[in-house]
């Protein structure tokens, strides 16, 4: 069965189909949601190692003498503080302070920044950055040049180390190295979206299939499993990592999303700064909070949340947590209810069901 022609496919599409993956339309991409089962894949990542095709993610390069100026101006985090080979999480905002996207910024050189952006936002991000470009900088849409494969879990390093001469122990968390893996040029980033240790490899799309197979072989002794978007979602939720279209979107600011740590108001002007300053001065009205269900049920995306019997917010993501054995979720609440330990009700199929706000992240790996 071939992908519907309206959907975009990654270079690994036929690999997923050969593995018998269940494929879904994910923001216009034909992607594997699961192979053997979400819980099994989730547990493989927490206890051993999993491999994810994340080639749908977009890549944008900002180059030129004023690359740093443009990158700093369109993002919330302090680009000037990045060292060569370092990565940070950041936000691309509209003037009104809402998210265009959440991104990773890699400093490749003083005049070269590499942005990893969300699949369904990549064209919008590119246009947004181009529209803000009043610097001597070039914005390059580079998604077609990269396949991206994530290897995540406590045995991820052991797996990838078998395939590269680069000393992975020397790459700190949220740093990267440009080197070789599987005998071809690869950008090896110590990043991930699972709350587990792991690496993300950026390689040429035409090599993706071979690289995937070599990783599978290298990881066999550790019990590597291919993992789909279903497990990726439960893993990132446990680690309280935001998903665009759920925790964040154009109507949500990073302050509301509990992402104040990626906003550097003192770094100088950037798109969205004035709106965030005003929001901070006026005081936040709502904030993202974690919750656990107290009674039977799973609060899922879009469900209404009640505080003291009245509608007060909504669930952004909710799922059983395979690691914790509880039903967890994230929701927006009025700030006065957003602290841990507050009783709330999630309206599940017209029934208010008891839940309680909790500390996040839900899961933190042992160092």
Partner 1 sequence: MVPEKLRYTKDHEWIRIEGDLGVVGITEHAQSELGDIVFVELPKVGAKLDQSASFGSVESVKAVSDIYSPVGGEVVEINTALSDAPEKVNEEPYGGGWIMKLRLSDPQQVEKLMTASEYDDYVGAES
Rounded distance between C-alpha atoms, residue 127 and residue 71, angstroms: 14
Cβ proximity to partner 1: between 55 and 317 the closer is 317
Rounded distance between C-alpha atoms, residue 266 and residue 253, angstroms: 17
Question: Does residue 328 interact with partner 1 by CB under 8 A?
Answer: no
The correct pick among 55, 122, 191, 319 for binding partner 1 (CB under 8 A) is 319
Cβ proximity to partner 1: between 24 and 108 the closer is 24
The correct pick among 8, 17, 22, 63 for binding partner 1 (CB under 8 A) is 22
Residue with tokens 């069965």: 1
The correct pick among 349, 350, 366, 367 for binding partner 1 (CB under 8 A) is 349
DSSP state, residue 163: T
The correct pick among 7, 17, 37, 304 for binding partner 1 (CB under 8 A) is 37
The site map against partner 1 for 217-256 (x = CB under 8 A) is -------------x--xx----------------------
Question: Does residue 260 interact with partner 1 by CB under 8 A?
Answer: no
Q: Which stretch binds partner 1 (CB under 8 A): 66-74, 122-130, 242-250, 315-323?
A: 315-323
Residues in CB range of 116: below 8 A, 6 or more apart: 57, 58, 59, 103, 104, 106, 148, 200
Cβ proximity to partner 1: between 37 and 179 the closer is 37
Of 270-299, which residues contact partner 1 (CB under 8 A)? 296, 298
Q: Name beta bridge partners: 115.
A: 60, 105
Rounded distance between C-alpha atoms, residue 261 and residue 148, angstroms: 26
Rounded distance between C-alpha atoms, residue 188 and residue 163, angstroms: 11
N residues, the chain = 367
Question: Does residue 194 interact with partner 1 by CB under 8 A?
Answer: no
Residues in CB range of 251: below 8 A, 6 or more apart: 98
Question: Does residue 320 interact with partner 1 by CB under 8 A?
Answer: yes
Rounded distance between C-alpha atoms, residue 355 and residue 296, angstroms: 10
Query: Which H/E stretch holds residue 117?
Result: strand 112-117
Q: Which stretch binds partner 1 (CB under 8 A): 109-117, 133-141, 191-199, 318-326?
A: 318-326
Cβ proximity to partner 1: between 160 and 231 the closer is 231
Q: Which residues are at the interface with partner 1 (CB under 8 A)? A: 22, 33-34, 37-40, 230, 233-234, 296, 298, 300, 319-320, 322, 349
């Amino acid at each position: 069965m071939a992908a519907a022609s309206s959907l975009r496919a990654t270079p690994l599409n036929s690999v997923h189909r050969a593995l018998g993956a269940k494929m879904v339309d994910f923001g216009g991409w034909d992607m594997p949601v699961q192979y053997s089962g979400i819980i099994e894949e989730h547990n493989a990542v927490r206890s051993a190692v999993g491999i994810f095709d994340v080639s749908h993610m977009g890549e944008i390069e900002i180059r030129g003498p004023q690359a740093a100026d443009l990158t700093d101006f369109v993002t919330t985090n302090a680009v000037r503080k990045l060292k060569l080979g370092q990565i940070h999480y950041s936000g691309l905002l509209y003037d009104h302070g809402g998210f265009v996207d959440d991104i990773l910024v890699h400093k490749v050189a003083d005049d070269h920044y590499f942005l990893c952006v969300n699949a369904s936002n990549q064209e919008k991000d590119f246009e947004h950055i181009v529209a803000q470009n009043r610097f001597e900088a070039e914005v390059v849409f580079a998604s077609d040049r990269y396949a991206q494969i994530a290897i995540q879990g406590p045995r991820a390093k052991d797996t990838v180390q078998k395939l590269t001469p680069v000393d992975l122990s020397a790459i700190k968390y949220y740093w990267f190295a440009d080197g070789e893996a599987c005998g071809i040029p690869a950008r090896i980033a110590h990043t991930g979206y699972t709350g587990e240790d792991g690496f993300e490899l950026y390689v040429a799309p035409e090599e993706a299939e071979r690289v995937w197979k070599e990783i599978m072989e290298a990881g066999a002794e550790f019990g590597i499993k291919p993992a789909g978007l279903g497990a990726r979602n439960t893993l990132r939720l446990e680690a309280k990592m935001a998903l665009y279209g759920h925790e964040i979107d154009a109507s949500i600011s990073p302050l509301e999303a509990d992402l104040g740590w990626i906003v550097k108001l003192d770094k100088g002007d950037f798109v969205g700064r004035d709106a965030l300053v005003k929001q901070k001065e006026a005081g936040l009205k709502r904030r993202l909070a974690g919750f656990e269900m107290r009674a039977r049920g799973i609060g899922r995306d879009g469900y209404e949340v009640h505080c003291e019997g009245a509608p007060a917010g909504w669930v952004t993501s909710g799922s059983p947590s395979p690691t914790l054995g509880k039903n967890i979720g994230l929701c927006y609440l009025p700030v006065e209810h957003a602290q841990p330990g507050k009783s709330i009700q999630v309206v599940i199929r017209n029934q208010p069901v008891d839940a309680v706000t909790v500390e996040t992240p839900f899961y933190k790996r042992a160092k």
